[in-house]
Chain A
Amino acid sequence: AQTIHQWPVAEIKAVGSPLSLGCTIKGKSSPNLYWYWQATGGTLQQLFYSITVGQVESVVQLNLSASRPKDDQFILSTEKLLLSHSGFYLCAWSLVWGPSAETLYFGSGTRLTVL
């Protein structure tokens, strides 16, 4: 069975400090990977997607970057946090092909508070 693990579960960081959030997918070879962001009390917005190792596409610019250093790993980071980065970050995956290829499955998320 596929499992998706996000870390850390929660972070409290100072404005201007760096950030690194991680996501690993087990049990699925070469999945499509995504980062989504949810403002507190708000809806979800896609940030990045990746279809293969080393290749990441940006969807929305939020002064964040993403990388896929391994097939099963997706990293979200920034060198300088802003207050507006606070929220809930969700990693997701989908199959590359097949009848359920367009269904997204989400991890448990990381809650980020920037002070």
Chain B
Amino acid sequence: GQQVQQSPASLVLQEGENAELQCNFSSTATRLQWFYQHPGGRLVSLFYNPSGTKHTGRLTSTTVTNERRGSLHISSSQTTDSGTYFCAIGYRGSALGRLHFGAGTQLIVIP
């Protein structure tokens, strides 16, 4: 089956440090989406990025589809960045709207 592997599983940063989250997937993906889950559970879409590089504020998403990998870069981390980051992959032939989620990276930013 389709696999989505995220690394690291968890990460502790000092405020101001940068973070690089990785996402590797097993088959040719038609779409990649990054989500941030608040500690309370709400899931927020950060990027929809099937290929290339996108920026929003301190966040950068890079997807290299033919190498089956994506990354999320967080620069100058803040305590409010703490939470869980999920990479989710859509594959050709999957059920409509079906995203295969990775296990997530739990980020803790300490002041």
**Chain A residues at the B interface, C-beta cutoff of 8 Å:** 32, 34, 42-46, 49, 51, 57, 59, 88, 90, 92, 94, 100, 102-106, 108-109, 111
Contact = CB atoms under 8 A, between A and B. Distances in A.
B97 A104 contact: yes
Given A43-B86, A43-B102, A106 B42 contact: yes
The prevalent SS among residues of B at the interface is strand
Interface of B: 30-31, 33, 35, 41-45, 48, 86, 88, 90, 95-99, 101-104
A49 B97 contact: yes
Nearest to A32: B97
Given A46-B99, A49-B98, A111 B41 contact: yes
Nearest to B38: A108
8 contacts: A34-B97, A43-B103, A44-B86, A49-B95, A51-B96, A103-B45, A103-B48, A108-B41
A58 B101 CA distance: 18
The prevalent SS among residues of A at the interface is strand
Contacts of B42: 106, 108-109
B6 to A, nearest CB: 9
A62 B43 CA distance: 22
Contacts of A43: 86, 101-104
Contacts of A42: 103
Contacts of B95: 46, 49, 57, 59
A109 B40 CA distance: 10
Given A46-B98, A57-B96, A59-B98, A109 B43 contact: yes
Contacts of A92: 97
